[in-house]
Amino acid sequence: MNFPRLQEKLEILADAAKYDVSCSSSGGNRKNKKGGLGDSHATGICHSYTEDGRCVSLLKILLTNHCIYDCAYCVSRKSNDIKRAAFTVEEVVDLTINFYRRNYIEGLFLSSGIFKDAETTMERLVRVAKKLRKEHNFNGYIHLKSIPGASDEIMKEAGLYADRLSINLEIPTTRGLKLLAPEKSHDQMIKPMGFIKNELNLYKEEKKIFKNVPKFAPAGQSTQMIVGATDETDLKIIKVADHFYQNFKLKRVYYSGYVPMLEDKRLPSIDSQVPMLRENRLYQADWLMRFYGFKADEILEKSNPFLDLEVDPKLAWALRNREQFPVNINTATKEMILRVPGIGRKSMYKILTARNFQKLNLEHLRKMGVATNRAKYFVEFESQNIFNKYIDDFNFRKIILQGMKSKFQNPFSEQLTLF
C-alpha cells in the first residue's frame, strides 16, 4: 500500500467533505452480533462539536472530489483548479476498519463528487457499505450521501446497508439553484427522497406482519441547505424545511452557512463572513417547529421574514405576542408553558409533575433549571410576581437584553478548520 499517497488522499477528501454538516447520527440502533465489529446502539457514531456547533465525524470523507457538475458554491466544482483524488472502495473500507479498531471513530460518513454519472457513483458508495457489512461484519454507524439520478434499485440496496441516507437540497429555492447550479434541479433531488420515504413506510408495514424484515435506513433520511449563498429569506427557508418534515418525514434538516471560497459574480463577495449566527437561529427555529409546536408562519411573518439575530426565535415570538402573557405556571397547558422563553421541554415536564404536589413560585422554577432571567417576565403565580409589570413597558426588550449574555458575541465568527 502506498501510504504517502493514501495520506494525501485522506487530507484532500476529508477537507472537501467538511462543508457537509449533516453528519450527526441520531437514531441509529444497529447492535453488534457475535463475531461482528462495532455497534451504533444508543449513542450512534462518536461525534464531536466544533466551537461553532457543527457536528464532526472523525471519518467524514468524500469517495472522490472529481465532479462532472460546476455548481458555483462548491469547492469541488469541475472548473475549480484544485488537487483531485479518489479512493478505491477497498481503501475506504480499510480506513474505516483500521480507524475503528484504533478507536478513532465509531462510524463512517461517506459522500462523493459525481464522476461519470450518478448511477456509477452511487453504486461505488453502496459497495463500500456492503463490503463493510457483509465481509467485515461492521455494525458501526454508516451514513451514505445519496446521489440524485441513481436508480431506485441502487437506492434500495443503499438503504439495506446504511443507517441513514441523505440527499442535499443544496439551495433552498428553485430560483437560487437554477442560478448557481443550472445543471441540477430540485425535482431530481426530491425523487429519491420520495422513494426513501415510501421504502421506510413499506418497512414499517411489513414489520407488522413478518418477524424478520431486513432493515431499511433505520436512522431515516435527512437533507441540508446552504444558507446565504442566494437571497432567500429565513421565512422561505423554514417553510421549505417544514414542507420536507411534513411530506417526506425527514429526521433532520441541516442548515449550512455559506462559506465563501470562490470568486463568482453570482455569489456573495469572497470577503463576506460566514453567517454563523443566522445558521444558529435557523436551528433554533427548526427546534421550535419540531419539538415546541410552533408553525413556520408563527415564527416569522411576510412583513418580518428574517430571524432576529439579537434574541432567539422563541423570545422574539413572545416579544411580538405580549398579550398572551403572563402565563400562570400552576394552571397553564403544557403547550403554553412551552412557549414561555427560558422554559425547555425537560423543565416543562418537571413543572407539570411538581405542580401536582404544591403551588410553584419563581424559586421553584430556578431550582428546576429554568432560565429565569428570561422566564420571570412571562410567568405568574398565585402570589405577586414583581417582574410582570415590565411586559407593557416601552423598553421591555431592552430590559430583557440587559439581563442576558449571549455566547455569540460576533455574528460572523470564524469557521474552524477540521484537520
In a domain? residue 409: no
Query: Region 159-180: what's the mean pLDDT?
Result: 94
412 has a pLDDT exceeding 60:
no
Query: Region 193-197: what's the mean pLDDT?
Result: 96
Residue 379 and residue 323 share a domain: yes
Last residue of a domain, one of 302, 328, 356: 302
Residue 242 and residue 293 share a domain: yes
Percentage with pLDDT > 70 across the chain: 87
pLDDT tens for each residue of 89-114: 999 999 999 988 887 788 888 999 99
Task: Give the domain CATH number at 77.
Answer: 3.20.20.70
CA 12 to the chain's CA centroid: 24
Alpha carbon distances (Å) from 120 to 92, 125, 146: 16, 9, 12
pLDDT of residue 333: 97
27 has a pLDDT exceeding 80:
no
pLDDT of residue 407: 53
In a domain? residue 419: no
In a domain? residue 257: yes
What's the rounded Cα separation, in Å, for the pair 115 and 124? 11
Query: Region 186-190: what's the mean pLDDT?
Result: 94
Residue 290 and residue 325 share a domain: no
In a domain? residue 281: yes
Last residue of a domain, one of 267, 282, 302: 302
Residue 173 and residue 138 share a domain: no
208 has a pLDDT exceeding 70:
yes
Cβ-defined contacts of 9-12 (< 8 Å, 24+): 9/85, 9/86, 9/87, 9/91, 10/61, 10/95, 11/419, 12/65, 12/83, 12/84, 12/85
Query: Region 367-387: what's the mean pLDDT?
Result: 95
| Total domain count, the chain | 3
Residue 204 and residue 246 share a domain: yes
Residue 332 and residue 277 share a domain: no
Residue 348 and residue 256 share a domain: no
pLDDT of residue 20: 72
pLDDT of residue 415: 45
What's the rounded Cα separation, in Å, for the pair 26 and 289? 18
Q: How confident is the model at residue 244 (pLDDT cuts 50, 70, 90)?
A: very high
Residue 272 and residue 174 share a domain: yes
What Rg value do the Cα atoms of the chain yield, rounded?
24
pLDDT of residue 277: 94
Task: Give the domain CATH number at 227.
Answer: 3.30.750
Q: 121 near 115, Cβ under 8 Å?
A: yes
Lowest mean pLDDT among 33-42, 43-52, 205-214, 276-285: 43-52
Last residue of a domain, one of 275, 302, 329: 302
What's the rounded Cα separation, in Å, for the pair 2 and 90? 13
Q: How confident is the model at residue 38 (pLDDT cuts 50, 70, 90)?
A: low
406 has a pLDDT exceeding 90:
no
pLDDT of residue 11: 86
Cβ-defined contacts of 280-284 (< 8 Å, 24+): 280/53, 280/408, 281/234, 281/307, 281/308, 281/309, 281/312, 281/313, 282/227, 282/234, 282/237, 282/238, 282/255, 282/307, 283/53, 283/255, 284/312, 284/313, 284/314
Pairing verdict, β 107-111 and 60-62: parallel
45 has a pLDDT exceeding 80:
no
Residue 49 and residue 139 share a domain: yes
pLDDT of residue 103: 78
Largest CA distance in the chain: 75
Residue 90 and residue 213 share a domain: no
Pairing verdict, β 221-227 and 164-166: parallel
pLDDT of residue 34: 65
Q: Which residue has the cell 478548520?
A: 417
Query: Region 236-264: what's the mean pLDDT?
Result: 93
In a domain? residue 105: yes
Residue 323 and residue 340 share a domain: yes
351 has a pLDDT exceeding 70:
yes
Q: Where are the alpha helices (DSSP H) in 58-151?
A: 89-101, 118-130, 136
In a domain? residue 153: yes
Query: Per mean pLDDT, which of 44-53, 97-106, 382-391 is the most reliable?
Result: 382-391
What's the rounded Cα separation, in Å, for the pair 387 and 328? 13
Residue 260 and residue 341 share a domain: no
The backbone torsions φ and ψ at residue 199, rounded to the nearest 5 degrees and listed phi first, read -65, -35
Domain range for 231 is 169-184+198-302
290 has a pLDDT exceeding 50:
yes
